[in-house]
Chain A
């Protein structure tokens, strides 16, 4: 290793465009993202001809701390963008990687985040096709921020269709609620728990996209319940569909350890962020079969029907364990900023 060009910390000169920048790109970033599209010499990734309808999305990642049980900012940056495409019925083809690094960031931290991005991209079958690196002065950032944009190809003939949602449709969730937010919370507060709670951060293309041709015409609408959790996402879906969603509290999947944390700290799992889950509205007659199909996949083992679409005005209601009914509304104010 050449000690003159490699340092163990990010310096301002790593972002100045000179030799250090070149070394960072060539010796650190390119080493992790080794693929034919990403060229250190070109200003754009050349993706070539893509067949099909194109979906495009972008997201920024500022999670603190950058490493938490079950994941890190790198895996999050890839999965978040891949999942935004997946719930729109698109297979991610290429993503970008924008790095905003704070002066003094340990090189090892950057390397770990890049390795996690590489592994997640490999798992999702997506190419990291272009990138950019900026360095900000110490105190002007918080270690590492990542932005990603993603291009995907839509599954033939499928589009999100909230207007197709009708009474009798079922509401599905692909697994337990709140794992990501609780994992970040525990990492941040240094809470000691008997049972660890790993984040659920995972790429969902492999779980969701095969459903679309297999259950043609049965999957109406999909969203990933990240910030604001299932509660907020379902409210947005109900608004888009102008439909009434009625949830069954007894059927909401929540990990025991997450419930414990929520009981102690007063959180409602309905409003906790997820990074590896999707909410689906599907035709009533196909719901059981779709749940069975989801459960065949490692990321859908705990998939469940959590409610149904009923006649009535737009909104989300819940049948409670006590046998009553209540509204599920948007929460006011975020109790925990910077979770993704």
Chain B
């Protein structure tokens, strides 16, 4: 443990951070460079590290759609609630999902009036739950990106191997590069560089961003989640811009590789197949979802219960969609900090601990510090 912590300290060194911040300021032009951190973990790390005000004027960090809770459409929540209330299934979910608003209610509110929801820390816990209650249908709310997909896939495989027939997954698993492509093509967003996720890249490999960099001419840098990783990643993006190139670079070399984790990729390919899926605030993105493959159809809750997730554009006043697309900052939403606060969130970006609105609210917007 001791050596491990010292290792982490190396990525938080104040002197090195100061030098990097100065280099970023030197490399930035007159107008702030518009960069997007795709992943919610980056959003939180940037807010916690006070990095946004450190770079103000030189770089505008837009928060992307990489918070799984935030982009899950309300139709998914409604489908989950219906499975519980109408079919009497036992729902198993990651804790973050409980307060996400559906059309008219949330899992937390329904739990208060009798909906059975168990919070689990791993999809395998949900399989164990099902194995222990053979007379009961258990549906795991499978939400996440390429990082959680192998764990969910592993749970499906485990259930299949052990014959746990009363387990199924309501899948809302998504893939990151497809969403980046949509944002890169959006002229309103004007992204000049992508800070790509650390953990997702460990699974899919840094080569997965090459189509985005090549097709849209936008520099991509995979960066770790420590403050120095982030500053270094931003600096690398500015260097690419200065040189007029757009390629994929890897700052997170200590873990991420070009090819990624083949075993995890095989697991995903075995259990899931790509599908079109709706993202809250963004719309349907072709090929950006992962549904349960036909050979595991009996573990697909949508098929098992004939309860498809319906995607529909969401409520009007909430501007989570524009936040997720990087069109506005959380503070620009008229509900931010007023009708929408972490205790009583209106939109999903305020619900999730990784949501950009929650991070802005908790750690300050960087304007008033």
Contact = CB atoms under 8 A, between A and B. Distances in A.
Interface stretch (B1-9, B127-135, B190-198, B240-248): B1-9
A263 B361 CA distance: 22
A291 B8 CA distance: 28
Interface stretch (A156-164, A176-184, A203-211, A322-330): A322-330
Contact of A256 (B2, B14, B47, B366): B2
A35 interface: no
B48 A326 contact: yes
Contacts of A260: 1, 4-5
Interface in A227-285: 250, 256-257, 259-260, 263
A216 interface: no
A159 B145 CA distance: 55
B17 A323 contact: yes
B21 interface: yes
Interface string B25-45: 000000000000000000000
Interface stretch (B49-57, B85-93, B209-217, B268-276): B49-57
A32 interface: no
Given A327-B362, A329-B362, A322 B343 contact: no
Contacts of B13: 321
A289 interface: no
A245 B24 CA distance: 29
A322 B54 contact: yes
B17 A321 contact: yes
A326 B45 CA distance: 11
Contacts of B2: 195, 256
Nearest to B47: A326
Contacts of B54: 322-324
Interface residues of B, number: 30
A332 B14 CA distance: 29
Contacts of B296: none
B342 A320 contact: no
Nearest to B48: A326
B330 interface: no
A84 B53 CA distance: 38
Nearest to A259: B5
Contacts, number: 79
A323 B227 CA distance: 10
A327 B18 CA distance: 20
Interface extent on A, as a size class?
20 to 34
A186 interface: no
Contacts of A331: 362
Contact of A325 (B12, B18, B50): B50
A141 to B, nearest CB: 24
A329 B362 CA distance: 6
Given A326-B48, A326-B369, A321 B12 contact: yes
Contacts of B169: none
B8 A321 contact: no
Nearest to A263: B8
A334 interface: no
A133 to B, nearest CB: 36
A322 B1 contact: no
Nearest to A256: B5
A193 B1 contact: yes
A321 B45 CA distance: 12
B5 A324 contact: no
Interface string A297-335: 000000000000000000001111111111101011000
B364 interface: yes
Nearest to A194: B1
A229 to B, nearest CB: 15
Given A256-B5, A326-B364, A319 B50 contact: yes
A324 B52 contact: yes
B49 A320 contact: yes
Contacts of B342: 332
B49 A322 contact: yes
Contact of B364 (A195, A263, A323, A327): A327
A323 B18 contact: yes
Contacts of A327: 362-364, 369
Interface in A179-203: 193-195
27 contacts: A194-B1, A250-B14, A259-B5, A260-B1, A263-B5, A317-B369, A318-B50, A321-B13, A321-B49, A322-B12, A322-B49, A322-B50, A322-B228, A323-B17, A323-B18, A323-B21, A323-B54, A324-B52, A325-B364, A326-B49, A326-B50, A326-B53, A326-B363, A326-B364, A329-B361, A332-B342, A332-B343
Interface of B: 1-2, 4-5, 8, 12-14, 17-18, 21, 47-54, 227-228, 231, 342-343, 361-364, 366, 369
- What are the 7 tightest A-B residue pairs by CB atom distance, in nearest-first order? A324-B50, A327-B364, A322-B227, A324-B54, A326-B50, A320-B50, A332-B342
Given A257-B1, A322-B12, 7 more contacts: A260-B4, A321-B14, A322-B50, A322-B51, A324-B51, A324-B53, A327-B369
